[in-house]
Amino acid sequence: MPQLELSPELDFQSETYKDAYSRINAIVIEGEQEAYENYQQLADMMADSKDELLKLAKMENRHKKGFQACGRNLDVSPDMDFAKEFFSSLHQNFQTAAAEGKIVTCLLIQSLIIECFAIAAYNIYIPVADDFARKITEGVVKDEYLHLNFGEEWLKANFETAKAELEDANRQNLPIVWRMLNQVETDAHVLAMEKEALVEDFMISYGEALNNIGFNTREIMRMSAYGLTAA
């Protein structure tokens, strides 16, 4: 008996796997599409960083194509209606903030929350992915650290004026992330990704980001657990 095997072999061709993958794959494709549009909108709002933001947007579009290929490789059609609904609250909040010219809120939603969510998900997916998807995801996650870094650097440079808006935006948007995690828990489990690990990795990346931006430990604890128990 193989004693070192921690989880049974995944069958990437089974109907159960492919059914869960049709939603998870769609979520990731939609997430990359949202990110692509969000960086384009940010480029219009931040004249000084326009070129850099357009570069980030292009990367997101490549990520989307990569994950579309992962779905095709497993012969899965992504359930995009499900994924659009999954992202609708964050989408709405980003659009509202953008319409009000709230750069800080937009950066928190896209460059901190969505990127940390992606980094956690991709890092947990890599060891349990099929070979094709693993190579794609490894390339993608490297880029996501750059995107997170863009948000960190800008918010750090503007910390004093951004602080109150960041706390406010965190309060409005972090509970949405916990709800999203609950919605994906069952499907993620089929792919051998556990919710506890996703929460833990998200908390680590998000907490480190808040620390780099200038928040102290007490503030980070309060902010990163916001809405967690109510989720």
Rounded to whole angstroms, the Cα distance separating 211 from 113 reads: 14
Of 30, 79, 144, 165, the one binding Fe ion (CB under 5 A) is 144
CB of 1 to ligand PL3, least distance (A): 30
User: Of the ranges 92-100, 117-125, 154-162, 166-174, which one interacts with ligand PL3 (CB under 6 A)?
Assistant: 117-125
Contact 71, 78 (CB under 8 A): yes
C-alpha 59 chain-centroid distance: 14
78 belongs to the binding site for ligand PL3 (CB under 6 A) = no
In this structure, the number of other CB atoms found within 10 A of the CB of residue 151 comes to 26
Fill in the per-residue mask, 144 to 173: x = in contact with ligand PL3 (CB under 6 A), - = not in contact. Answer: x--x--------------------------
In whole angstroms, what is the distance from residue 76 CA to residue 16 CA? 12
- 45 and 103 in contact (C-beta within 8 Å)? yes
Residue of 26, 60, 97, 226 that binds ligand PL3 (CB under 6 A) = 60
Kindly identify the residues of this chain, within the stretch 58-87, that bind Fe ion according to CB under 5 A: 60, 63
CB of 56 to ligand PL3, least distance (A): 9
Helices (H), 191-216: 195-213
